[in-house]
Amino acid sequence: MSQFTTITTTEALAAFCADAKAQPYVTIDTEFLRERTYYSRLCLIQMALPPADKAKDGGGPAVLVDPLAPGLSLEPLYDLFRHEGTVKVFHAARQDLEIFFHDAGIFPTPLFDTQIAAMVCGFGEQVGYETLVRKIAKDNLDKSSRFTDWSQRPLSKAQQDYAIADVTHLRAIYETLKAQIDKTGRGPWVAEEVAILLDPETYITRPAEAWQRIRTRSNSPRFMAIVRKLAEFREEYAQTRNVPRSRVFKDDALVELASTKPSNEAELGKSRLLMREGRRPEIAQGILAAVKAGMDDPHPPRPPKEVPGQPGNAALGELLRVLLKAKADLEGVAPKLIATTAELDAIAQGMRDVPALHGWRAEVFGRDALRLASGEIALSAEGGVVRVVELQ
């Protein structure tokens, strides 16, 4: 098992971060809790540096930073995040970055995400860290501590071993993937995806837009207006008090309330799906106010217009899926990285403001997708291999 040091003081953290600034990269991971809060609670930060001598076995220094330690300031870490000379390496960085953005308004740059890199290198869609450890580092992880309580102190040996393994193996994974990406010249592909992770808009949830995540279908603008106001109230309440949305009321209760439209506490009390938390006075009053606001909304949301069915749209969509699979196989990348199912459907319906039709995706897939849609090319299968056939 890898050796590591536990950091509980600002001075020790500053010393490690100073050493990290002299290195080409540092691997980073976090452990957190979110079951009882709206925002994740940071409980542990793991970091590891590259080996000082690659000719020798073992890696460089590795640490577990305890952000819950009394008096510990994370400012030295944030200063490292701002240091452009050291690449910060994460795997599936989105949740980690969300924590740092919410807690300190900062992103670690430059950033390298090995999950994105693995998709570019043909390891599949949203490949897990455990898979990369097995395939690249030639080791197996003990995942038994994954869902333990990371706020408890002291951490068990099993928790510590699990946590440090998340960054020590990451060194070999990063170096392998980085070398492959440099060889193929696909650094811009990775950079385009990383830019999304470093965009503050990725992590901002606006209460007024929360209704768009509610899974319900209705042709009634009034029903959707109430859904919108209820979702907005719930999001604001959850954010302000840092509690999960489900602790305010769940989606099924929200849809029920939008259907029954209670106008007073007696009618609200008849709800079958509203749990005890949702019946507390401050929430109950918020629900009633949201329902009324939805009923009075002069500009209720209109159901999205159906795109008129064009003969062959469905068939074109299927052909685009075949083309995507062929192009992804040819390039050795995950199909989802190039285009999503929704994007394929949009192209089949004649839409052109689609990510798959811009940037490197256009070169790999988008241009031929448009040519297929316009009848300039066709697809043929020969010996199980899909080929593009020029028609004009």
Of the pLDDT bands very low, low, confident and very high (cuts 50, 70, 90), residue 174 is very high
Average pLDDT over residues 337-361: 93
Proportion of the chain above pLDDT 70, given as a percent: 95
Query: What's the pLDDT at 217?
Result: 78
* Pairwise CA distance, residues 251 & 213, whole Å: 10
Instruction: Give me the domain span that covers residue 199.
Output: 5-203
DSSP assigned state of 83: -
Nearest CA-CA partner of 94 in 40, 47, 154: 40
Residue 191 CB neighbour total at 10 angstroms: 16
Per-residue pLDDT reduced to its tens digit, 273-332: 998 888 899 999 999 999 999 999 999 987 655 555 555 588 899 999 999 999 999 999
Say yes or no: 212 and 196 in one domain: no
Say yes or no: 156 and 194 in one domain: yes
Say yes or no: 216 and 153 in one domain: no
Say yes or no: 198 and 211 in one domain: no
Residue 128 CB neighbour total at 10 angstroms: 16
* Pairwise CA distance, residues 58 & 4, whole Å: 12
Give me the amino acid identity at 64.
L
Say yes or no: 217 and 176 in one domain: no
CATH of the domain at 222: 1.10.150.80
Query: What's the pLDDT at 52?
Result: 75
Query: What's the pLDDT at 106?
Result: 98
Does 386 have pLDDT greater than 80? yes
Say yes or no: 175 and 270 in one domain: no
Say yes or no: 157 and 273 in one domain: no
> In the Cβ-directed half-sphere of 58, how many Cα atoms lie within 13 Å?
10
Domain end point (choices 177, 203, 229): 203
Query: What's the pLDDT at 305?
Result: 57
Say yes or no: 164 and 18 in one domain: yes
CATH of the domain at 119: 3.30.420.10
Query: What's the pLDDT at 67?
Result: 98
Query: What's the pLDDT at 219?
Result: 85
Query: What's the pLDDT at 218?
Result: 85
Per-residue pLDDT reduced to its tens digit, 56-80: 556 789 999 999 999 999 999 999 9
Say yes or no: 213 and 232 in one domain: yes
- The per-residue pLDDT of the chain, averaged, comes to 93
For residues 251 and 51, the model is more confident at 251
Say yes or no: 181 and 66 in one domain: yes
Does 366 have pLDDT greater than 90? yes
Domain end point (choices 164, 186, 203): 203
- For residue 306, tell me if it sits in a domain: no
- For residue 362, tell me if it sits in a domain: yes
Say yes or no: 130 and 221 in one domain: no
Per-residue pLDDT reduced to its tens digit, 229-238: 999 999 999 9
Query: What's the pLDDT at 157?
Result: 95
Average pLDDT over residues 132-154: 91
Query: What's the pLDDT at 196?
Result: 94
Query: What's the pLDDT at 58?
Result: 61
Domain end point (choices 147, 181, 203): 203
- For residue 340, tell me if it sits in a domain: yes
Say yes or no: 354 and 376 in one domain: yes
Number of domains in the chain: 3
Average pLDDT over residues 206-223: 92
- For residue 187, tell me if it sits in a domain: yes
Does 9 have pLDDT greater than 60? yes
**Distance separating the N- and C-terminal Cα atoms of the chain:** 62
- For residue 301, tell me if it sits in a domain: no
Q: Are 114 and 89 in contact (CB under 8 A)?
A: yes
For residues 24 and 140, the model is more confident at 24
* Pairwise CA distance, residues 155 & 157, whole Å: 7
Of the pLDDT bands very low, low, confident and very high (cuts 50, 70, 90), residue 228 is very high
Average pLDDT over residues 363-382: 92
Phi/psi of residue 388, nearest 5 degrees: -90, 130
- For residue 302, tell me if it sits in a domain: no
Q: Show the tokens assigned to 380.
A: 């043929």
Helix ranges (H only) for the chain are 10-20, 75-81, 94-104, 114-120, 129-132, 157-184, 187-197, 221-241, 245-248, 251-260, 265-268, 281-296, 313-331, 335-338, 341-348, 359-361, 367-373
